[in-house]
Amino acid sequence: MIKNNNNKSMDLTLKIWRQENAQARGRFETYKVTGISPDCSFLEMLDILNEKLVMEGVEPVAFDHDCREGICGACSLYINGRPHGPDHGITTCQLHMRKFKDGDTIIIEPWRAKAFPVIKDLMVDRSAFDRIIQVGGYISVNTGAAPDANSIPVSKENADSSMDAAACIGCGACVAACKNASAMLFISAKVSQLALLPQGRPEAARRVQIMVSKMDELGFGNCTNTYACEAECPKEIKVTNIARMNREFFSAKVCGEKKK
Amino acid sequence: MTSLHSKIPAGPLAEKWTSYKWTQNLVNPANKRKLDIIVVGTGLAGASAAASFGELGFKVKAFCIHDSPRRAHSIAAQGGINATKNYKNDGDSVYRLFYDTIKGGDYRSREANVYRLAEVSGPIIDQCVAQGVPFAREYGGLLDNRSFGGALVSRTFYARGQTGQQLLLGAYGALCKEVNKGSVTMYTRREMMDLVIVDGRARGIIVRNTLTGELERHSAHAVLLATGGYGNVFFLSTMAMNSNGSAAWQCYKKGAYFGNPCFTQIHPTCIPVHGDYQSKLTLMSESLRNDGRIWVPKKAEDAEKIRMGTLRPTEIPDDNRDYYLERRYPAFGNLVPRDVASRAAKERCDAGFGVGSTGLAVYLDFEDAINRLGRNAIEAKYGNLFQMYEKIVDENPYNTPMMIFPAVHYIMGGLWVDYELQTTIPGLFAAGEANFSDHGANRLGASALMQGLSDGYFILPYTIQNYLADQIGVPRFKTDLPEFEKAERDVFDRIQRLLSIKGHRTVDSIHKELGHIMWNHVGMGRNGEGLAKAIELIRNLREEFWKEVKVPGKATDVNIELEKAIRLADYLEIGELMARDALHREESCGGHFREEYQTPEGEALRNDQDFAYVAAWEYTGYGKEPELHKEHIEFENIEVKQRNYKTS
């Protein structure tokens, strides 16, 4: 069906971070998997490992995942030192084993950031992202209060740029990739999406200030322009969004607009 | 015994919803603060409902199984959302969307519900634009549309191939706004385990905190279930890994009737199955059928060579290709509804014309569109879908046609609800894919998003008030009532039982076996003999599950195998009800194709005389035959006829 890779198969060594809970000390455990098809996805390879572990009476490796088509943002994993693994512009669930070679050793770790504590094994707590959105990452419009959709024209260029930013899936790879564990790419994507649209302007100044201060409060670092976030973002969100956010932030400060 | 009363308002079709709103009971703002609503599930339907309830002033508790409401599987909807804006001036209207949906559903849905759905479709778009959903626009700054199956107009609004994501993030934003305001309390990583009924009314739920394993009791004046569909009963589907039917199933076991459980949507354009390790299937949006042409080789020997790998599709000249949808359905061509397109693909593959190494695939070809519009135009429209395909299949769809095959995608069946979206349990409401309403026996593309948001933004905020209006004197509930005690105890026992089996089979191995039974006998083509066999096979497998399943770990911790086992125990019952429903419905309609009932041309042959009803099943006890109730569907505004996509 899929390109004829079926006759090849791979034997791999996996070094996986195991940690019982947030308080426990973690460690790497080594596992072997054999006969892995190159057409198998990375998470399916972990499913195969887990089936094996269950039959051996060992607790399977816990990891977050859901849609398995690169859109829900649930999957994470630091694979061989890179968020979402070696391929570009995809999530871990879209990574396929054809990117690896027979005999490879693969190191699998959770996201590591102060604001994303480990829950168990490869699962981390990313609820800090929700808390940032909750303080103002939206347009305050109640159901039923909207004017006709075409009464607000938006230039195609702005609509497209807004969509580019809105493509963020909130996976946290940007934070995991950043040496400062900064959430600037994540926040700037939401700030940009809404700032580029006329509907988002009335709250723009308040929004950017309150989201940034929430980010600081939650223990995320700041941006020092290494662009690691852009390089590792599975949705290829651009750092120009951070520039736009900074401009929004400064202009809000300079104009003395209130946060609340 | 609850009787089936659909509560459809009297009066002309176009005035029913208006007159309902005019005569319904409302709750005054001071009383709203005293009333609690539980919302289970925060996808499009749940998030939009929870946010809207919060805006009205109710106290809302919202629950989701994910770490964040933004991960609900609504996010994966690609193509778009229908609305009758008629911005294209191509003849769209509320009536036309209503008509297309009734016809698309093969005359098995309620006129009044569908008409209301079409009526509120326009305001949904207004709402989403105001929230900052970046829909595709034309150069003039106004909204763009595209076409979807089963329609002759362009009424689908879209945000690239990520419409579901953008609409969900809009609803999630609204939900976050209400969380910030304090009207909604959000509970993440909670899985609903049971419904609590007090004095005949839904008054609360038992949830399991999936991080700690703790069982929690929550009470409210009304409960809304928006927990999606149960397509993962097939193991392989386009649903997310955590999508499951358990919450709805527990409500069924507590007395809510289940409507048309066998109505399953098999989507025609998914990436074909490629190995037994596979965990899920990936959809390629229906929007691709705007520009892609579906074909298989005309000659069986060419198909044979392709399967052997000695011939490439690009080497087959146009004359030797069978564009079978264009051939069979000249009026709608490649944009026939999903059930029709899926069956046609199966028919060609069964006849020996299938491609790919297994012969279970057909081509979706963009060569003509690329020649006509240029590669850049195709990339702008479908770039992310092409990339998604290439990552999975390792072939470039710009150069060689995509291979696709039908896969389980959506469940039209679900909890039976009346016009107010209330189930047969007073105080229990169901929205979105979790209810059975609106789509009949087949859902049209881009209508799931529309239905989820219409239920959540524009219908439930009205109808739930009609129920709550007489609850204003009921004080907040304590959860130390014996009903809560018992429900929690039952859940605890169920979990302990699963952990104590310590058998020899993994959850997934049994789930895969169930999936095979379902796909082979309760899938695209069904017949009496196969369905009877499926019921027996599922019962045997269920027995084996309760003897042989192996669930390691503890109940009081993150335990993924336990979560899967709890869900599978329910799937092993859901599957049987689906087979039973399919067996009793001796006709073909929409996605339900009984091989015994077809026209000479192989089209679905309905039996309106005997089956123009909703089959609502009542639970009568474990292992006992459920009782069938019938809600007859009346058509007062549409002439019922055989669906025709050959001529317009």
Q: What are the DSSP calls for A11-27, one per residue? A: EEEEEEEE-SSSSSPPE
H or E segment and range at residue A131: helix A127-136
pLDDT in tens, B259-306: 999 999 999 999 999 888 999 999 998 889 989 999 999 999 999 999
Q: Do A140 and B179 touch (CB under 8 A)?
A: no
Contact, B14 vs B97, CB < 8 A?
A: no
Q: Taking Cα atoms as reference points, which of B318, B335, B385, B338 lies closest to residue B592?
A: B338
Q: pLDDT value at position A257? A: 65
Query: Which positions in chain A touch B174 (Cβ < 8 Å)?
Result: 138, 141, 143
Burial grade of A155 (CB within 10 A; 0-12, 13-18, 19 or more):
middle
Query: Is the pLDDT assigned to residue B579 strictly greater than 50?
Result: yes
Query: Is the pLDDT assigned to residue A258 strictly greater than 80?
Result: no
Q: Do A166 and B141 touch (CB under 8 A)?
A: no
Residues paired with residue A180 on neighbouring β-strands, in sequence order? none
Query: Which positions in chain B touch A123 (Cβ < 8 Å)?
Result: 558
Query: Which positions in chain A touch B140 (Cβ < 8 Å)?
Result: 153
> Edge-to-edge, what's the strand order for the sheet holding B402-411?
B264-270, B402-411, B362-365, B293-297, B321-322
Q: Taking Cα atoms as reference points, which of B108, B77, B81 lies closest to residue B228?
A: B77
Taken in order B524, B530, B535, B538, the sign of the CA dihedral is negative
pLDDT in tens, B170-194: 999 999 999 999 999 999 999 999 9
Q: Report all structural domains of chain A as residue ranges with CATH numbers, in order of start.
A: 10-120 (3.10.20.30), 127-254 (1.10.1060.10)
Query: Which positions in chain A touch B274 (Cβ < 8 Å)?
Result: 1-2, 39
B402 part of contact set with chain A, CB < 8 Å: no
Query: Is the pLDDT assigned to residue B380 strictly greater than 90?
Result: no
Percent of all residues in chain A with a pLDDT value above 90, rounded to a whole number? 93
| Confidence grade of residue B1 (pLDDT, cut at 50, 70, 90) | very low
Contact, B226 vs B46, CB < 8 A?
A: yes
Q: pLDDT value at position B588? A: 97
Contact, A123 vs A110, CB < 8 A?
A: yes
Distance (Å, rounded) from C-alpha B340 to C-alpha B289? 13
| Confidence grade of residue A260 (pLDDT, cut at 50, 70, 90) | low
Nearest-Å Rg of the Cα atoms of chain A is 21
Q: pLDDT value at position A259? A: 59
Query: Is the pLDDT assigned to residue A3 strictly greater than 60?
Result: no
Q: pLDDT value at position A4? A: 45
How many Cβ atoms are within 10 Å of B376's Cβ, its own excluded? 10
Q: pLDDT value at position B286? A: 86
At B82, give phi and psi (nearest 5°).
Answer: -80, 145
B276 part of contact set with chain A, CB < 8 Å: no
What would the mean pLDDT of B522-527 be, rounded to a whole number? 96
Q: pLDDT value at position B3? A: 64
Active site residue B539: no
Q: Do B179 and A134 touch (CB under 8 A)?
A: yes
pLDDT in tens, B206-258: 999 999 999 999 999 999 999 999 999 999 999 999 999 999 999 999 999 99
Q: Taking Cα atoms as reference points, which of B477, B462, B483 lies closest to residue B420?
A: B462
Query: Is the pLDDT assigned to residue A6 strictly greater than 70?
Result: no
Query: Which positions in chain B touch A93 (Cβ < 8 Å)?
Result: none
Please give the residue of chain A at the shortest CA–CA distance from B307. A1
Distance (Å, rounded) from C-alpha B331 to C-alpha B88? 20
Q: Do A43 and B143 touch (CB under 8 A)?
A: no
Among candidates B52, B76, B552 on the partner chain, residue whose Cβ is nearest the Cβ of A67: B76
How many Cβ atoms are within 10 Å of A53's Cβ, its own excluded? 17
B272 part of contact set with chain A, CB < 8 Å: yes
Q: Do A44 and B277 touch (CB under 8 A)?
A: yes
Question: Which of B67, B78, B239 best tests the A interface by mutation, with the highest count of A CBs <10 A?
Answer: B67
Query: Which positions in chain A touch B139 (Cβ < 8 Å)?
Result: 156
Single out the catalytic residue among B70, B71, B293, B338. B338
The chain-wide mean pLDDT, for chain B, equals 96
Q: pLDDT value at position B161? A: 86
Distance (Å, rounded) from C-alpha B388 to C-alpha B384? 6
Longest dimension (CA), chain A: 66
Residue B441 CB-half CA count within 13 A: 28
The residue whose two tokens read 């869900």 is B567
Distance (Å, rounded) from C-alpha B184 to C-alpha B181? 8
B461-486 burial by CB neighbour count: b if 16+ within 10 A, else e? bbbbbbbbeebeeeeebebebebbee
Please give the structure tokens belonging to residue B252: 């069924």
At B61, give phi and psi (nearest 5°).
Answer: -115, 120
Strand B613-618 versus strand B362-365 pairing type: unpaired
B48 part of contact set with chain A, CB < 8 Å: yes
Supply the ipTM of this predicted assembly: 0.96
Q: Report all structural domains of chain B as residue ranges with CATH numbers, in order of start.
A: 267-409 (3.90.700.10), 482-611 (1.20.58.100)
Query: Which positions in chain B touch A170 (Cβ < 8 Å)?
Result: 68, 70
pLDDT in tens, B117-151: 999 999 999 999 999 999 999 999 999 998 888 88
Query: Is the pLDDT assigned to residue B392 strictly greater than 70?
Result: yes
B residues 12-41 lying closer than 8 A (beta carbon) to A: none
Q: Taking Cα atoms as reference points, which of A186, A173, A239 lies closest to residue A212?
A: A186
Distance (Å, rounded) from C-alpha B297 to C-alpha B316? 8
Distance (Å, rounded) from C-alpha B175 to C-alpha B188? 13
Among candidates A2, A54, A66 on the partner chain, residue whose Cβ is nearest the Cβ of B71: A66
B275 part of contact set with chain A, CB < 8 Å: yes
Q: By three-state DSSP, how is residue B45 classified?
A: helix
Distance (Å, rounded) from C-alpha B456 to C-alpha B171? 10
| Confidence grade of residue A8 (pLDDT, cut at 50, 70, 90) | confident
Q: Do B127 and A120 touch (CB under 8 A)?
A: no
Among candidates B140, B358, B458 on the partner chain, residue whose Cβ is nearest the Cβ of A153: B140
How far from B612 is each of A51, B127, B159, B544, CA to CA, in Å? 46, 36, 37, 37
Q: Do B174 and A170 touch (CB under 8 A)?
A: no
Q: pLDDT value at position A2? A: 44
Please give the structure tokens belonging to residue B7: 């509560």
B159 part of contact set with chain A, CB < 8 Å: yes
What is the crossing angle of helices B507-521 and B528-548, to 10°?
A: 170
Q: Do A67 and B136 touch (CB under 8 A)?
A: no
Distance (Å, rounded) from C-alpha A131 to C-alpha B147? 38
Q: pLDDT value at position A61? A: 98
pLDDT in tens, A171-215: 999 999 999 999 999 999 999 999 999 999 999 999 999 999 999
Terminal-to-terminal C-alpha distance of chain A: 57
A260 part of contact set with chain B, CB < 8 Å: no
Encoded amino acid at B61, one letter:
K
Q: Do B361 and A1 touch (CB under 8 A)?
A: yes
Distance (Å, rounded) from C-alpha A132 to C-alpha B457? 24
What one-character DSSP code corresponds to residue A221?
B
Contact, B167 vs B191, CB < 8 A?
A: no
Q: CB neighbours of B52 closer than 8 A, spacing ≥ 6?
A: A143, B174, B456, B457, B460, B461
Query: Is the pLDDT assigned to residue B525 strictly greater than 80?
Result: yes
Scanning B1-105, the segments in alpha helix (DSSP H) are 16-23, 29-32, 44-56, 94-104
Q: What are the DSSP calls for B326-351, one per residue? A: HHH-TTTGGGS-HHHHHHHHHHHHHT
pLDDT in tens, B603-619: 999 999 999 999 999 99
Query: Is the pLDDT assigned to residue B498 strictly greater than 90?
Result: yes
Encoded amino acid at B381, one letter:
K
Please give the residue of chain B at the shortest CA–CA distance from A71. B76
